[in-house]
Amino acid sequence: MQNTILALDLGTTTGWALMTRDSSITSGTESFKPHRFEGGGMRFLRFKRWLTEIKQTSDSIDAVYFEEVRRHLGVDAAHAYGGFMAHLTAWCEHHQIPYQGIPVGTIKKHATGKGNASKDEMIAAVRNLGHSPADDNEADALALLDYARKLEV
């Protein structure tokens, strides 16, 4: 029996992919865009609540993998990523779920054979695996899940 694995492409639009113990895979994106009249930390509270909902609907989560970004094009994106990563790792620690960041280049190389693949190349690679990602965020999460599955074996 497989472990339940959650793979995340962290960001304002978070891509996610979940493989449950019966090897079924679900995926999608979740928006954590700040709402007009809420404080700056509310997006992170909504993120934590969303993680808990996924954990409850899948019985449990045995491992979390996230895309580890080392370079951001903008300061806002860097701050948002840092906030999501901090809340994710604290949530995992609280629930005693092992977690691991995987560098972007490693995921791209695994999926396409080259570490600097474009968004379109990543989407195409994930479609070749039999998935239908709505966007690059979901495609990245699915590619990460495929990589994580092979690590778990």
* Distance in Å from the first CA to the final CA of the chain: 11
CATH of 5-152, one of 3.40.50.261, 3.30.420.10, 1.20.200.10, 3.40.50.720: 3.30.420.10
112-124 pLDDT, tens digit per residue, is 999 999 999 999 9
What pLDDT score does 77 carry? 80
- Average pLDDT score over residue span 9-15: 95
- Average pLDDT score over residue span 8-35: 95
Other CB atoms within a 10 A radius of the CB of residue 99 amount to: 18
Other CB atoms within a 10 A radius of the CB of residue 145 amount to: 24
- Cα distance between residue 51 and residue 88, in whole Å: 8
60-112 pLDDT, tens digit per residue, is 899 999 999 887 667 888 888 999 999 999 999 999 999 999 999 999 999 99
